[in-house]
Chains A and B, each alone.
Chain A
Amino acid sequence: MPRLGELERSVMNALWDAPAPLTVREVQEKLDERDLAYTTVMTVLDRLDKKDMVVRERDGRAYRYGPAVTRDAATSELLHAVLDSAGDDRTAALVHFARTVDPSEAAALRSALDEILAMDDR
């Protein structure tokens, strides 16, 4: 469902950009140009709630929705899961190309690379 996924992203960005938790109506107004139905925004927020991405609190007859994690915290959670290759995440995400190497290893890698780059093109 690319459309719903795309909407989730927009709604989440609206929540991240807002200084305080928003009601469904307020989210709908923020995404004015997309011309979304009230119920569509509600559905999207429910989906985000199921994924533990938003927290909601009752406000009179409605709810106010805020992001469960800040944008920065979400980014660093991802990076940590990926870069922490000592942890259990080795198979959750097949991680590559992001490794620290010590200077002597780096020098060995560079000289091997130079040899490969000097090879004739076949």
Chain B
Amino acid sequence: MTPIWLGLLGLALALPVPALLARSTWPLRAPRAGIVMWQSLAVAAILATSGAGLSTALWLVSVDDPSPWRVVLHVAVLGVGVLVWARFWWAAWTVWRRTGERRRRQRHLVDLLGEPDGAEPALRVLRHETPIAYCLPDRTKARVVVSSGTIDLLDEDGLRAVLEHERSHVRSRHDLVLEGFEFLRAAYPRFLRTDAPLHQSQVMVELLADDAARQVGGVKPVAKALVTLADAPTPAGALGVGSAAAVRLERLRDPDPSNRLVAASLYLFSAAVVVVPTVAIAIPWMVHAWQVLLER
């Protein structure tokens, strides 16, 4: 039964569990722990799915008199397991390369168009009235980009807050966190996946960057800059994600946003989601597999 249990667990962790968790807002109260939770769910899903594939393979070679429907079921489990594994590495490779290329192109453009200053990571000012502020993360060649429109719109403290927010993304390599979830999303077939981990993590890294920004000049400049820029007109084609702004303001409104209880439960849950299936299903199966191999 191991392949079926692991297969079901892999499916549950890929779709219904993330979808349910994404509906609750409490993981957003502890964004760092929340990201860890999404990561461990991802690891557990991948482990369960590949474990299902492995144990199915063993069952198929070791069973003596299989009934046809069990063979069909096991082959299906094996197929999904192999598919997810192969797609995960393929996705990791293609997403990684594509983002790298796109970032390089954008950095070249930004370096030619934007005015440099001595700051670290390098800041580039783009001459355009559209208010934007973003970063191009990289280990050594990161850029923080703001438009002249942003500078015109914000007061000095607001600009400082925005720059600190972006620098925090660069420093903490939030791009790597999000890329991991992109790989995962690309690994599962379309009907077996949810965007929840990626979307929730996108909001969570924003919350963490806001936390860093408020350390520098307090809450008010961050909140003011956030609302000013969220409200500013952007060209057609820009998509509204106003809810993220609301969630971020909610956290800024809290004088002490760190929530130890939520963080502790999230960490506990994260550990359990990886450890419990390993102890309950994977280790007994490994013992069983060892015995089967010895008997042959």
Bound Cα distance from A74 to B107, whole angstroms: 12
Indicate if the CB atoms of B166 and A96 lie closer than 8 Å.
yes
Indicate if the CB atoms of B106 and A81 lie closer than 8 Å.
yes
Quick one: which of B134, B162, B231, B245 contacts A93, CB cutoff 8 A? B134
B165 contacts partner chain A, Cβ-Cβ < 8 Å = yes
B242 contacts partner chain A, Cβ-Cβ < 8 Å = yes
Question: Nearest chain-B residue to A50 (Cβ)?
Answer: B108
Residues of A within 8 A of B113 (CB): 71, 74-75, 78
Residue contacts A-B, CB under 8 angstroms, 13 given? A78-B113, A82-B145, A84-B239, A96-B165, A97-B133, A98-B130, A98-B234, A99-B229, A105-B242, A112-B227, A112-B246, A113-B226, A122-B255
Indicate if the CB atoms of B131 and A98 lie closer than 8 Å.
yes
Interface string of B147-178 (1 = CB under 8 A from A): 00010000000000010011001000011001
B220 contacts partner chain A, Cβ-Cβ < 8 Å = yes
B13 contacts partner chain A, Cβ-Cβ < 8 Å = no
Residues of B within 8 A of A81 (CB): 102, 106
With A84-B237, A90-B178 known as contacts, the answer to whether A113 contacts B249 (CB < 8 A) is yes
> In this complex, which of A5, A79, A92, A121 has the most chain B Cβ atoms within 10 angstroms of its Cβ?
A92
Residues of A within 8 A of B240 (CB): 99-102, 105
Question: Nearest chain-B residue to A47 (Cβ)?
Answer: B108
A8 contacts partner chain B, Cβ-Cβ < 8 Å = yes
| B255 to A: closest C-beta gap in Å | 7
Indicate if the CB atoms of A113 and B223 lie closer than 8 Å.
yes
Residues of A within 8 A of B134 (CB): 82, 93-98
Bound Cα distance from A94 to B209, whole angstroms: 11
| B69 to A: closest C-beta gap in Å | 42
Indicate if the CB atoms of A97 and B225 lie closer than 8 Å.
yes
Residues of B within 8 A of A83 (CB): 130, 132, 234-235, 237-238
Within B216-250, which residues are at the interface with A (CB < 8 Å)? 218-220, 223-227, 229-235, 237-246, 249-250
Indicate if the CB atoms of B132 and A109 lie closer than 8 Å.
no
Residues of A within 8 A of B232 (CB): 98
Residues of A within 8 A of B238 (CB): 83-85, 98-100
Indicate if the CB atoms of A9 and B230 lie closer than 8 Å.
no
A51 contacts partner chain B, Cβ-Cβ < 8 Å = yes
Given contacts A79-B130, A88-B98, 19 further A-B contacts (CB under 8 A): A5-B116, A74-B112, A75-B127, A85-B238, A93-B135, A94-B135, A95-B134, A96-B206, A97-B133, A100-B239, A105-B246, A110-B231, A112-B227, A113-B224, A113-B226, A113-B249, A116-B249, A117-B220, A119-B220
B42 contacts partner chain A, Cβ-Cβ < 8 Å = no
Indicate if the CB atoms of A94 and B174 lie closer than 8 Å.
yes
Residues of A within 8 A of B127 (CB): 75
Contact residues of A with B, CB < 8 Å? 2, 5-6, 8-9, 12, 51-53, 71, 74-75, 77-86, 88-102, 105-106, 108-110, 112-113, 115-117, 119, 121-122
| B166 to A: closest C-beta gap in Å | 7
Bound Cα distance from A53 to B112, whole angstroms: 9
With A8-B111, A99-B230, A101-B231 known as contacts, the answer to whether A116 contacts B223 (CB < 8 A) is yes
Indicate if the CB atoms of A97 and B116 lie closer than 8 Å.
no
Bound Cα distance from A78 to B127, whole angstroms: 11
Indicate if the CB atoms of B106 and A119 lie closer than 8 Å.
no
| B108 to A: closest C-beta gap in Å | 5
Indicate if the CB atoms of B219 and A119 lie closer than 8 Å.
yes
Question: Nearest chain-A residue to B219 (Cβ)?
Answer: A116
B137 contacts partner chain A, Cβ-Cβ < 8 Å = yes
Quick one: which of B112, B233, B241, B255 contacts A119, CB cutoff 8 A? B255
Bound Cα distance from A97 to B227, whole angstroms: 8
Indicate if the CB atoms of A91 and B246 lie closer than 8 Å.
no
B260 contacts partner chain A, Cβ-Cβ < 8 Å = no
